[in-house]
Amino acid sequence: MIDSLIKRRDENDNREVKVLMLSATPINTGLADIKGQFNLIGRDSDSAFDNEDFGVESMTNLFSDGQKKYTTWCKDDDRTIGGFVSMLPQKFFNLTDKLIVARTRKMIEKTLGEDLHFPKKEAPINVYQGVDHFGEFTSTEAIYKAFEDLTLTAYQPSKFIPETIITDLKGQKLSWQDDLFREQFLVKMMGILFMKRLESSWYSCMLTVKKVLDIHVSTLAMVEAFKEKKAAGLIDVAAEDMDDDMLEEFTMFRKKDTVCLADMKNLEGFEKGLRSDITKLRRIYNALQNYKEDYLAGIEKDLKLNELQKILANKKKQANKKIVIFTVYADTANFIFDELLKRGCKKMAMVSGTETRTTGHHSTKDYREVLMSFAPYSKLYVEKEWSYLYENAHLSMKKYYDDEKHRWNVPYDLWLQLLRESNDKTLRLIDDGIDILIATDCLSEGQNLQDADMQVNYDIHWNPVRLIQRFGRIDRLKSPCETIRSVNFWPAASFEEYLNLETRVTNRMAIMNITGAETQELNPKYLKILQDNTLADKNAARLLKELSENSISDIEDSQSLSLTDLSMEAFRQDLVDFYDKNRELFENIPNGVFSGFSLPEDFKEQMPESLIAVVGYPHRVRKDQPYTNIYLLCQPVDSSAQVQYRELNQIDVLDFLRKNKKACRFVPDMIQTAEPEQLERLSTIMKLWLRSRCKLEGASNTQNILKSRKTIKQKPSMAENTAEKFQLQNFDLIVWEYISK
């Protein structure tokens, strides 16, 4: 384990006081994901890490406890990463600290070499242009009001069935109340879908309205046929073919139920609701159709598409003509492709989850050909093996082969020349090049497209994290581009107006207008889904604001757990060089060295006067004796003080010290002069911390003993008497700082 160093200078006598701090540990975002990685390392053995190095008796118990704490943390409106980290048991860090390494971009550039090039990110371009009218709907308010007035009766037939217990085809009992809530939840999602589709393109919204209208018309036809005794009257409650990952995520718990019209207590009410919705949907659809006709006639202009065309025209003048355009919906992707084609754009391709289109001669059954044609540097030159090409060309290994790294280092231009000379079949993909790649989010992960230096968000995904993933396609290691930039299309006249629109969308998730102006609450199961989703996250507005002002991949979300956020690698990498240069000095510093500083104004309301210390267990009898445990503590001097900083964990403590590392050294005179009364006070603070650790570890050990599968033969460490361990004389005070008000 690499120790971290924090250096502080005393301005009075120019002395440097060095503080040795224990590095904390990294943890990944999803506990289930990280457990899967550890299971792979441990070959699915629950006790794979039950040894002296890790001390984890049961992986299942450890991660089950961690997941419970994570669930509790998620419910806190004022949650912080530090709050979650402080809840995790020490054994969790024993595991993650030794098996996980998280590196930031700066670490990679610094430690892995300058040849690993990251491009410089320019400030994003923000385009504020949306659809604020179509047909008879002459304002955004009128459009949204029309969407909100929809009841979508075809999706909630359970409202018209008697409250009872329904049995499915397998004889399993189904709760009528669950069906009702599930259908109401689906209607909420459909309402959001209309709005997000319109934000993407009027064309996509029109197709969605038509699909929903057709479902209502066909359902009404079934009702009429049933009433005339011409059909059995079985209808499905579904929202098929909507091409929306948001709808898929939010309705994955929904069953595909079949409802019998004969079971309806209020069939007339169901029919009335269908007719009302059909009238409203038809009115919206006709208005969109009128807009389409006016657009085709040149009366209406698609101002959003016009802005995109301006960006493409400017891009065509630049040396790098490659650009990636992302949209949530395949309908919008097809619309953009068709319209740009009409406007004379060439060298284009479109890739969605189900379809590939191209202006070239690429395979439309294998989208990888399109990607290789769009990004030959990334997808061909970098990713593929070309040893045979270089060997056949008899290139000088002395000049172009790296013996240390065991790889060829041939310049891109020379590689391209060799391809032409050898007439390699790959050459057709380069000559039939693609400059404009239009894609849905099926390409937002796992693809290297860094030949492009510009990425466009033609619509703002409901999950802001997806925007970061999109930009990550061109923000890659070994990019041939010096600079890269993103373009964000916001469906409003300003960012503030966009937030107002999004608030309206998210409010619809909390309340839905039911026929008769009723307001019905979701049961806790579905309410939790609403509370946990990204749209309802109170932090989303802040994140989107940062996305509009900063380079996307630089955004850090204080509410989102990530491996980098919780890794101590940043502290290690920042300070390890300094430590190595002065290793002998630090190793000779005796235990008990101390320093201190006064809290700056920014921290006085967040943190009380405190003692920060590193202690080692067990007490060393000789200098070369290793410590079994090293603890980093942060304890208020006043035990009754309210710690608004939460229960500080190692990461928060080190981050706090890092932010104040340039503060002037200040230690109260009563400590400098070693007044007995003050020293006793500090000793009491240490004892309070020992008492809290004793209670914490004791409870953890007891829980592990009770849960462990090894109920007969317990290791001595499991049954260790924590009360005897956590005595002041059993610990060494390695270093400490006094934080004054």
Is residue 463 within 8 A of residue 196, CB to CB? The reply is no
Please choose, from the candidates 10, 29, 30, 7, the residue with its C-alpha nearest in 3D space to the C-alpha of residue 20: 7
Phi, psi (rounded to 5 degrees) for 232 = -70, -25
Residue 82 above 70 pLDDT?
Answer: no
What are the tens digits of pLDDT across the range 42-60?
Answer: 777 888 888 777 778 888 8
CB atoms within 10 A of CB 712: 5
What are the tens digits of pLDDT across the range 204-216?
Answer: 999 999 999 999 9
Domain ranges across the chain: 1-12+591-741, 129-299+499-543, 310-496
3-state helix, strand, coil in the chain (%, to 5): 50, 15, 40
Residue 364 above 70 pLDDT?
Answer: yes
Residue 352 banded pLDDT, cuts 50, 70, 90? very high
What are the tens digits of pLDDT across the range 115-165?
Answer: 566 788 888 899 999 888 999 999 988 998 899 899 999 888 888 877 654
pLDDT value at residue 571: 66
Residue 1 above 60 pLDDT?
Answer: no
For 640-652, what is the HEC assignment?
CCCCCCCCCCHHH
pLDDT value at residue 450: 93
Tokens at 289, concatenated: 């159709």
d(Cα 30, Cα 25) in Å, to the nearest integer? 16
CB atoms within 10 A of CB 425: 8
d(Cα 413, Cα 165) in Å, to the nearest integer? 72
Mean pLDDT of 8-30: 31
**What DSSP string describes 512-538?**
-EETTTEE-PPPHHHHHHHHHSGGG-T
pLDDT value at residue 300: 94
Q: What beta strand segments (E) does 583-697 contain? A: 593-598, 610-617, 629-636
Q: How far apart, in Å, are the Cα atoms of 660 and each of 136, 302, 317, 546, 598?
A: 61, 53, 49, 25, 9
Q: Using the 8-state DSSP alphabet, how is residue 251 labeled?
A: T
21-30, 187-196, 459-468: segment of lowest average pLDDT? 21-30
DSSP run (H or E) holding 456? strand 454-457
- Residue spans of alpha helices (H) in 162-250: 176-200, 202-227, 245-250
d(Cα 124, Cα 554) in Å, to the nearest integer? 12
Q: Which carries the bigger pLDDT value, residue 410 or residue 162?
A: 410
d(Cα 500, Cα 491) in Å, to the nearest integer? 11
SS3 (DSSP) at 358: strand
Residue 410 above 90 pLDDT?
Answer: yes
Residue 366 above 80 pLDDT?
Answer: yes
87-91, 121-125, 178-182, 564-568: segment of lowest average pLDDT? 564-568
d(Cα 407, Cα 404) in Å, to the nearest integer? 8
Is residue 452 within 8 A of residue 322, CB to CB? The reply is yes
Mean pLDDT of 519-548: 48
pLDDT value at residue 543: 60
35-39, 417-421, 444-448, 586-590: segment of lowest average pLDDT? 35-39
CB atoms within 10 A of CB 302: 18
**What's CA 374's distance to the chain center, in Å?**
27
d(Cα 157, Cα 260) in Å, to the nearest integer? 9
Tokens at 583, concatenated: 């290793």
SS3 (DSSP) at 326: strand
Residue 521 above 50 pLDDT?
Answer: no
pLDDT value at residue 507: 57
Torsion sign (Cα): 2, 629, 690, 646: positive
pLDDT value at residue 455: 95
Residue 518 banded pLDDT, cuts 50, 70, 90? very low
pLDDT value at residue 715: 46
Q: Which amino acid is at 696?
A: L
Q: Which carries the bigger pLDDT value, residue 91 or residue 170?
A: 91
* For residue 668, cis peptide bond before it (omega within 30 degrees of 0): no
**What's CA 508's distance to the chain center, in Å?**
24
What are the tens digits of pLDDT across the range 671-719?
Answer: 888 788 877 888 888 888 887 777 666 555 555 544 444 443 444 444 4
Residue 19 above 90 pLDDT?
Answer: no
pLDDT value at residue 644: 42
d(Cα 234, Cα 255) in Å, to the nearest integer? 16
CB-based contacts of 376, cutoff 8 Å, min separation 6: 429, 430, 433, 451
CB-based contacts of 22, cutoff 8 Å, min separation 6: 1, 3, 4, 614, 630, 631, 632, 650
pLDDT value at residue 719: 41
CB atoms within 10 A of CB 616: 20
**Which residue's structure tokens are 């061109």?**
474
Distance linking the first and last C-alpha atoms of the chain: 33
Number of H helices, E strands in the chain: 30, 22
pLDDT value at residue 104: 55
pLDDT value at residue 723: 74
Residue 264 above 60 pLDDT?
Answer: yes
What does pLDDT average to over the chain? 76
Q: Which carries the bigger pLDDT value, residue 408 or residue 108?
A: 408
Most confident stretch, 332-336, 446-450, 473-477: 332-336
d(Cα 628, Cα 638) in Å, to the nearest integer? 30
SS3 (DSSP) at 452: coil
Please tell me the class of the 310-496 domain.
alpha beta
